[in-house]
Structure 1
Amino acid sequence: MSGSLQRLVATAQNGLEVIRFGGLVHEVESMPYEVAERKRMYRLRHYFPDDKTPGRPVALLVPPLMVNADIYDVNAEGGAVGILHRDGIDCWVVDFGSPDAEEGGWQRNLSDHVLAIDSAIDTVVEMTGRNVHLMGYSQGGMFAYQTTAYRYGKGVASITTFGSPVDLVAGLPLGLPGGGITGQAADFLADHVMPRLPISSSMVRLGFQLLDPVKTAKARLDFVRQLHDREALLPKERQRRFLQSDGWVGYSGPAVAELLKQFVAHNRMMSGGFVIRDQPVSLAEIRCPILAFVGELDDIGQPAAVRGIVRAAPNAEVHEASLMAGHFGLVAGSTATRLTWPLVRDWVRWIEDGQPLPEQIVPMQEHVASDRQLPLAIRAVHTGAAVAEAGVGLGASLAGMAGSTVRGTLELAGEAGRVLPRMTRLGMIAPHTRISLSRLMAEHGRRSPLGECILFDDRVHTNAAVNTRIDNVVRGLISVGVRPAARIGVLMETRPSALVTVAALSRIGAVAVLLPPSSELSEAARLTGIKTIVADPENMPAAAQTGARVLVLGGGDSRGLDLPLDGDVIDLEQIDPDAVRLPGWYRPDPGLARELAFVLVTGTGDKLDVKYITNHRWALSAFGTATAADLDHQDTVYCLAPLHHSSGLLVSLGGAVAGGSRIALARSLDPAEFAEEVYRYGVTVVTYTWTMMRDILDADVFPAGRPHPIRLFIGSGMPAGLWRRTLEQFAPARVLEFYASIEGDVVLANVAGMKIGCKGRPVPGTAKVELVSYDPETDEIRTDARGFARRTADNEVGLLIGRAAENVDLSAGGLRGVFAPGDAWLPTENLFRRDADGDLWLMDRRDTVVHTARGPVYTQPIVDALNEVTAVDMEVAFGMQVGDRVLAVGVVSVRDGYQLTPQDVTEGLRGLEPGQRPDLVYVVPEIPRSSTYRPSVRAVQAEIVPEPADNVWRYNRVSGAYEPLTPESALILFS
């Protein structure tokens, strides 16, 4: 009776104390610290400030949002700062405070926190004279990665993280499914819900408790059962109060929105290209050593997500320490006291003094999912032992089971949700439908004004900013007399102002004539009939020489201050858009599908040609590209192709705008810049033309096997051998090769990418195509007995034609009555063959077929076969007139460090029929290329002479081999 009474009295006394003070009054105090710096975003704590021991390593610890900075001192002597200080490490802690108690706290975003840590690092480095070992728990570790990358590693000796996810899609907290739900639900919440919904500290506390209500109830029941035993409860009292009330802080809505948008919906910790104050950043900038603690029982910072750092930071030496602990147990509790912080001490000593690493710290390998699950008993034991842990038990297990069963379905639904609306919209476009480049960009601006649109020169431009710039340029153009339907030349380097100019002309309803920089600019201006050219400062002198009026726009920091401005040269940047009164006729984005939108100038010399692109044709390629490449808001499209090339205008710009992707513009093809910007911008898709990738591969800026974010290369004209090299170097990325007729609606794509060199099949929603039998000698379509065109058999070379739209004028070369009376078709300029699987292979242009005495020889198979020879750098093929004969000629240049022999050429061309092999193969030092990186046949033809030489090999049709061209064999061949 006496014992029971004493127990009851003790329970009552202790319970009253808990009710009055929120917990048991105890003598355990936090470790001593002073606030060394106080700023709007944070307070910088310096622990044990009286310890002046010189030369100590310095640790700067960062807490996560939702948990206050006391997390590193919750266990007092057994906490992080106490243990590290005893081991000779100078400890500093960033304290963000609570948003409900800080000025502007509920408006904070993630960038504010990164910049706060950036400032704190500068302060600690200045005050101590030493680089810091940056350490972060959970999201604090994410901040540590992001800040180090943002400052390019300056002042950071190493990074240590605890349960900090990087590849969020690979391991979402609580087993939530990725795929479609991350992209769609996260974006919706980020754009429309979270910015208006701050999460209070009580909501945070309740949320974590509801993650596992059974554990929460059990912890409280155990506390009540032990309430009589004060001595047993006091050692854990500070930790209990931390978890049940004191340790939680609010989470501002903008910070949640940015977390969802950048790191859940877009997973940009992995791909790179996350944005800190308009600056794109990649974890590839991290070069200091990294130690990541992985909790095997962690259901929040899941092992797969944590180990993503080894791919996201390919330039860093990454280690891991894997512990049998949950999320909270990694930094607080008995496991942290016994293992975590002593291992951190050893890590710091390894870096500072070269002492050996403990066996628990090992180089990190990429995460491999295991079918082996920890026995339920082990998980139960550890879960029960870590009652204070903020992990999840049964709830997480159920969520994981549900996630694994629906993840595939959601991903499939997400893909369908992207593709179907595009195809539906494309199918609904009629001649009178309003559709244009500027209209789509305006839609993005209304839907997501803060969404990222253009990345250029390490700066990010939002949809709102880009549309504002477009509208300002529109006012400038209108003020100088630009009206709808006017043809206006655009002569600009690839830069945001070039894209804005094209979009501004589209917004007015004018026609952008995209001019390539060349010596034939005046002739291009004459052919297109333009009287006005918009140019950047670099191209202004060339534009002025055409005699056209020149409007100068853009230039940025490189803008010249002494532009020779007169009546024919107007600086649009000097026009105040607010002072321009818009005329009554102006209606933004008036372009109809049937109306002309762009004019492209292709070819050179006497083959200079003009191509006309309607809004419908542009939309066809734009939506077709976005569909075939599966582009969406998670992608960043790196535009290597210039905007004046069809690939740049239709594929790069069109596909990105139609897919809602970010557009990263490259000033020029610079392999070193390419290597840096791919990571910094988080490039997932690279667009190319012709041999662009050759320069990047030859520069060896991407060692094979190195992790990178690129998933796809899209473009046209890539030679087969270069295609293969690209796949090998950038595995597992794919190549998506397009073919598009400029003026018709034919668009082909090799979506699977399995057949290297193949152009694939028609993109859904584009024109139906047919391959008709064709006589290259007479340039006529072969017909059957009824006079209709004859379709080709498998592997027969034929002319590619596409069904004409209803509003197309056929008088300029169209066809009627091809397969049925009255049907309408547009012929392309190219010859193809269709293989047994139904895939199309380009054989030649109609006007470049080589007409030899033995019959027509097609040049594209020769080019592809030669490019597959390892030693060959570039190649062209053409016909050469020698006397009264025409010979098929192949010309190659050799890669640096390689040698090419006639035997190599013989083997390389063995796959062609003997009659399709070139009569001669020339080896030249270099093959010139055009501004679009297409090997120049005309330039090579001008240098080739039909004479015997060491670099000329002829095809011996008796032996089937190539051999040096001797005077004797030349006499026979040329006679």
Structure 2
Amino acid sequence: MHLSLSAVTRPVERLMATAQNGLEVLRLGGLETGAVPSPVQIVESVPMYKLRRYFPPDSRPGATPVGPPVLMVHPMMMSPNMFDVTRDEGAVGILHAAGLDPWVIDFGEPDKVEGGMRRNLTDHIVALSEAVDTVKKTTGSDVHLAGYSQGGMWAYQVAAYRRSKDLASVITFGSPVDTLAALPMNIPPNIAAVGADFMAEHVFNHLDIQGWMARIGFQMMDPIKTAKARLDFLMQLHDREALLSREQQRRFLDSEGWIAWSGPAIAELLKQFIAHNRMMTGGFAINGQLVTLTDINCPILAFVGEVDDIGQPVAVRGIRRAAPNADVYETMLRAGHFGLVVGSKAAQITWPTVADWVRWQSGQGPKPVNVDLMGEHPDAGEKGVPLAARLITGLGGASEVALSVAKTAADAVVATNRSVRTMAVETVRTLPRLARLGQINDHTRISLGRILSEQAHATPGGEFLLFDGRVHTYEAVDRRIDNVVRGLISVGVRQGDRVGVLMETRPSALVAITALSRLGAVAVLMSPDGDLAEAAKLSGVAEVLTDPANLDRARALPVQVLVLGGGEHRDLRLPAGTDVIDMEQIDPDTIDLPGWYRPNPGLARDRAFVAFSRVSGKLVAKEITNHRWALSAFGTASTASLDRNDTVYCLTPLHHQSGLLVALGGAVVGGARIALSRGLQPDRFVQEVRQYGVTVVSYTWAMLGEVIDDPGFSLHGNHPVRLFIGSGMPTGLWNRVTEAFAPAHVVEFFATTDGQAVLANVAGAKIGSKGRPLPGGGQIELAAYDADADLILEADDGFVRHAEPDEVGVLLARPRGPVDPGASVRRGVFAPADTWVATESLFRRDADGDFWLVGTRNGVIHTARGPVFGDSITDLVGGIGAVDLAVSYGVGTPAGDLAVTALTLRPGASITAADLREALSTPVVGVPPDLVHVVDALPLSATYRPESGKLRAAGLPKAGRQAWHLDAETGEYVRLTAAVRTALAAEPAAPL
């Protein structure tokens, strides 16, 4: 057999070419391509960045006009040269050829810049915002801001930070927004959140990422693709022409394209946007300013990689829900993460599409054909790019049946692990709080000041207090508290003293209350709208801490007035010789602490606060011990599963028990952020919920009706709220709130005034129920009760009888900690020598063990037909869809008491006798009311509780089309006529 010459020489030539090219790679790191970078001008150079303008325009007369500017943003770990890897197929070259004006921000290599490794995320965002200003000033045109991967996340954040000022559009490439919806390598979200938080707190505050580490990490995201690319390179090492077309891209990914990350920037990224997912929830902080993506109102174009495992489609598409005020478009590519911006598909699809998009937005061309409005997608329920998709992309096809089986098995494992993780996380979070609560006794040192100090020590840089769009850390608040303590000591306040706090809800009020707690004094919480003279007299205060807004009211009291806070522009203008002390003029550094001072000396049994309420029109002072505060605070944090991922929105003032015990207490114990409001303002509610990233909203009674029923209320797009916590929410409003804020639900609390009995409806499934006893909150029982005789019933053995299911009973609590001196204490109740506190509250307990409030002992309406339990009736009526609010009360007549239920209707709604019959025909306890009537409005207390005093004083309702009475013979509700009303007022009510 004869061999041809070519058959002999070809292998030799191939071997020689391989050796020659391989030697060049070893010596130079790659093949010489002869490529030159695109012409560039440095328009601005500051320590934080350089601003590049590619293909700078010719300034000579007659030069070609410059098109719209596009400012491109690289991620922290990649060189800005990624946009000019090859001149012909790179981003800047393609955009320039299309008539646009390409700009690139270059953050440099932080490990080679003085102070670079101390940069944080805020530094980058503020710098990018300044670069936008420069581009706008230089070109005179609004800027199209385009970012790849994390650079796109920055673009979103800058657009929100600037409220879209000077931005024509935002363009992103593989930039995740809902980061926990889908993570690389299908990492479970709970583990990712916990891990990211841990890494931010304990690793990246000591560690920076070098460029080589970033490169290896990126390659490990898809090791199969990395290995395949290297194998292909080796197999083609003999073919120089084939390699040259991809050589610039290969060298970029293998060595030249990676730069160092600063530890603080990584930590902030992990904490804000992975652990807390605040691009979705809102409330991320830039320079102390709270920002939400709902502030973006310029058009958005998001490039989505179908097989992108880093910026997975479901995570990228989170922008549609996070930015509901923007028109959001997308372009889908069959590409991985880096392939979106570099490579053949990027050159053929991505950058020409960007050029067409910019022209369309500038009115210079039609909408690009591959740009569509982002809508609902099938992947909305997925948790990320499946492993199967990545395998197909990297290795080729595989059996459809085998992949289906693998996916089913993997999904089952993931679902099981997720359930186990959720249970584990909740257990780890809740058990320590309940254990600590259970260990509290009279001599336990515990207080608001102590818990806040513990949190500040554990996470000094943690975000704590949100107000007026700004954020304050635990460390800053704690330092301010200590300074105020020194000021209080300097003016003579000592441990145990009672000091009034007369302040609007603002940071200085929180600081004042906590400072008194840290000092061991008693904070007397005075309402600016209340009877201040009576409150001062009842509580015996000698000093009042006030803010400038309430200074005149405070000076009218016969006490020493101390002024604290008031903002940056306060001007007290105190007359000469005044006895008012301006606390802000005291330099805390000049105050020597006395020997008797010990921070946070309060014991559980000690009085910590005094709050006020009205009972039968009389102002009553209610003393709250540290134990009472701790019970509510730990109970709220445990029941609501509060942690550092949460932001609690405090709608009630801090002088109200709900604000102090539930919102503030729960937030401090849970380590959550607390957002203070300037009172309920329906027009600002949704805005602040998104701006602060509110996850938990506190409420009282019908408060949320002001929001839900406001004509301007609109909740489109994403919202972060997961929970509403409070007490007294009417059943109808409960339904409307959960419908409007789905999937959020309501946790309804009930607590006696002394805090000995606490119930919580955690599941929220039984609307109107008060739930079950709070774990760690002590034992609760229902004592059988005779409403007619107002007696607690005993069994044959002489002990109190337990109420049967759905039988009315008096709520009893086994006391834990100090007992209120005015409490009704009973001994030998269920066993010899046992001790119980009898409350005034009446409940029934259903067969499942859930408690339902039916009223109070003195609130039972005793009619000729039997007892009417007002709260039970109000709940039933509130279940009618047309009803807004309702209240039941008794009206005395010569013939005896009649039970009346007054209700208001939702706008445009009406109610019929049939509705009343269906709702009230068979109350679980007691009998239905004698009369029902519609009123225009129900008076509400300061806490939004419907009041019946004026209605009761007005007597029986007037006859009319919207008033009904219970017919004694038929048991039906019929229209109330004048004749029937007269008869009811004069004659005894006939029994059914």
Tell me if both proteins adopt one fold, taking TM over 0.5 as the criterion.
yes
The AA in structure 1 aligned to 2:55 is F
Correspondence 1:317-356 to 2 at 5 A: 317-353=327-363, 355-356=366-367
Correspondence 1:621-640 to 2 at 5 A: 621-640=632-651
Match 2:98 to one of 87, 95, 106: 87
User: How many correspondences in the alignment?
Assistant: 963
Partner Cα distance (1:834, 1:405) in 2? 35
Residue in 1 that maps onto 2:126: 115
Partner Cα distance (1:568, 1:919) in 2? 60
SS for the counterpart of 1:26 is: coil
Residue in 1 that maps onto 2:556: 545
Question: Aligned-pair distance for 1:548?
Answer: 2.7
SS for the counterpart of 1:789 is: coil
Residue 889 (str. 1) matches residue 900 (str. 2): yes
Aligned partners of 1:117 and 1:147 also within 8 Å: yes
Residue 447 (str. 1) matches residue 458 (str. 2): yes
TM-score normalized by structure 2?
A: 0.92
Residue 188 (str. 1) matches residue 198 (str. 2): yes
Residue in 2 that maps onto 1:588: 599
| Structure 1 residues 543 and 867, CA gap change in structure 2 (3 angstroms) | farther
Cα deviation, 1:531-552, whole Å, max 9, x if unaligned, reads: 2222222222223333232222
Question: Aligned-pair distance for 1:408?
Answer: 3.8
Match 2:56 to one of 31, 49, 54: 49
Correspondence 1:338-417 to 2 at 5 A: 338-353=348-363, 355-359=366-370, 361-365=372-376, 367-369=379-381, 379=390, 382-383=393-394, 406-417=417-428
SS for the counterpart of 1:847 is: helix
Question: Aligned-pair distance for 1:56?
Answer: 2.1
SS for the counterpart of 2:982 is: helix
| Structure 1 residues 896 and 944, CA gap change in structure 2 (3 angstroms) | farther
The AA in structure 1 aligned to 2:52 is R
Question: Aligned-pair distance for 1:499?
Answer: 1.1
Cα deviation, 1:830-858, whole Å, max 9, x if unaligned, reads: 11111111111011122222222333211
Residue 464 (str. 1) matches residue 471 (str. 2): no
Partner Cα distance (2:218, 2:78) in 1? 11
Correspondence 1:790-829 to 2 at 5 A: 790-805=801-816, 807-808=818-819, 812-829=823-840
The AA in structure 2 aligned to 1:332 is V
Residue 70 (str. 1) matches residue 81 (str. 2): yes
| Structure 1 residues 791 and 399, CA gap change in structure 2 (3 angstroms) | closer
Correspondence 1:166-565 to 2 at 5 A: 166-179=177-190, 181-213=191-223, 215-353=225-363, 355-359=366-370, 361-365=372-376, 367-369=379-381, 379=390, 382-383=393-394, 406-557=417-568, 559-563=570-574
Residue in 1 that maps onto 2:25: 18
Aligned partners of 2:771 and 2:852 also within 8 Å: yes
The AA in structure 2 aligned to 1:229 is D
Aligned partners of 2:66 and 2:99 also within 8 Å: no
Question: Aligned-pair distance for 1:40?
Answer: 1.8
SS for the counterpart of 2:180 is: coil
Structure 1 unmatched ranges of 5 or more: 386-395
Aligned partners of 1:10 and 1:228 also within 8 Å: yes
| Structure 1 residues 574 and 310, CA gap change in structure 2 (3 angstroms) | same
| Structure 1 residues 876 and 471, CA gap change in structure 2 (3 angstroms) | same
| Structure 1 residues 794 and 54, CA gap change in structure 2 (3 angstroms) | same
Residue in 2 that maps onto 1:740: 751
| Structure 1 residues 626 and 812, CA gap change in structure 2 (3 angstroms) | closer
Partner Cα distance (1:254, 1:941) in 2? 64
Question: Aligned-pair distance for 1:943?
Answer: 4.6
Residue in 2 that maps onto 1:32: 39
SS for the counterpart of 2:704 is: helix
Cα deviation, 1:381-437, whole Å, max 9, x if unaligned, reads: 64369xxxxxxxxxx999999867744433332221101111121122222111111
The AA in structure 2 aligned to 1:247 is G
Correspondence 1:673-688 to 2 at 5 A: 673-688=684-699
Moved more, 396-405 or 48-57: 396-405
SS for the counterpart of 1:598 is: strand
The AA in structure 2 aligned to 1:443 is E
Partner Cα distance (1:42, 1:398) in 2? 49
Aligned partners of 1:744 and 1:804 also within 8 Å: no
Aligned partners of 2:869 and 2:926 also within 8 Å: no
Match 1:160 to one of 156, 171, 177: 171
Aligned partners of 1:536 and 1:552 also within 8 Å: yes
Aligned partners of 2:322 and 2:717 also within 8 Å: no
Question: Aligned-pair distance for 1:477?
Answer: 1.3
The AA in structure 1 aligned to 2:941 is S
After superposing on structure 2, the runs of 4+ consecutive aligned residues of structure 1 that deviate more than 6 Å are 371-375, 396-405
The AA in structure 2 aligned to 1:306 is V
SS for the counterpart of 2:854 is: strand
Residue in 2 that maps onto 1:389: none
Aligned partners of 1:702 and 1:729 also within 8 Å: no
TM-score normalized by structure 1?
A: 0.94
Question: Aligned-pair distance for 1:778?
Answer: 4.3
Partner Cα distance (1:402, 1:344) in 2? 41
The AA in structure 2 aligned to 1:679 is R
Residue in 2 that maps onto 1:919: 930
Moved more, 115-124 or 13-22: 13-22
Moved more, 660-669 or 553-562: 553-562
Moved more, 731-740 or 130-139: 130-139
| Structure 1 residues 379 and 455, CA gap change in structure 2 (3 angstroms) | closer
Partner Cα distance (1:694, 1:91) in 2? 51
Question: Aligned-pair distance for 1:574?
Answer: 1.9
Aligned partners of 1:29 and 1:76 also within 8 Å: yes
Partner Cα distance (1:262, 1:766) in 2? 34
| Structure 1 residues 950 and 383, CA gap change in structure 2 (3 angstroms) | closer
Aligned partners of 2:464 and 2:473 also within 8 Å: yes
Question: Aligned-pair distance for 1:361?
Answer: 3.2
Partner Cα distance (1:13, 1:397) in 2? 50
Partner Cα distance (1:69, 1:100) in 2? 15
| Structure 1 residues 773 and 605, CA gap change in structure 2 (3 angstroms) | closer
Aligned partners of 1:453 and 1:661 also within 8 Å: yes
Residue in 1 that maps onto 2:968: 957
Question: Aligned-pair distance for 1:346?
Answer: 2.8
Question: Aligned-pair distance for 1:217?
Answer: 4.6
Residue in 1 that maps onto 2:623: 612
Partner Cα distance (2:709, 2:631) in 1? 35
Residue in 2 that maps onto 1:390: none
Partner Cα distance (2:387, 2:603) in 1? 65
Moved more, 853-862 or 96-105: 853-862
Partner Cα distance (2:346, 2:881) in 1? 56
Moved more, 42-51 or 545-554: 545-554
Partner Cα distance (1:564, 1:956) in 2? 70
Partner Cα distance (1:967, 1:156) in 2? 68
Question: Aligned-pair distance for 1:763?
Answer: 0.9
SS for the counterpart of 2:443 is: coil
Moved more, 855-864 or 271-280: 855-864
The AA in structure 2 aligned to 1:187 is D
Moved more, 197-206 or 660-669: 197-206
Correspondence 1:734-773 to 2 at 5 A: 734-773=745-784
Partner Cα distance (2:177, 2:646) in 1? 18
Partner Cα distance (2:623, 2:384) in 1? 61
Aligned partners of 2:895 and 2:985 also within 8 Å: no
Residue in 1 that maps onto 2:989: none
Cα-Cα RMSD: 2.6
Partner Cα distance (1:191, 1:781) in 2? 56
Aligned partners of 1:705 and 1:730 also within 8 Å: no
The AA in structure 1 aligned to 2:53 is H
Structure 2 unmatched ranges of 5 or more: 1-7, 397-406, 987-992
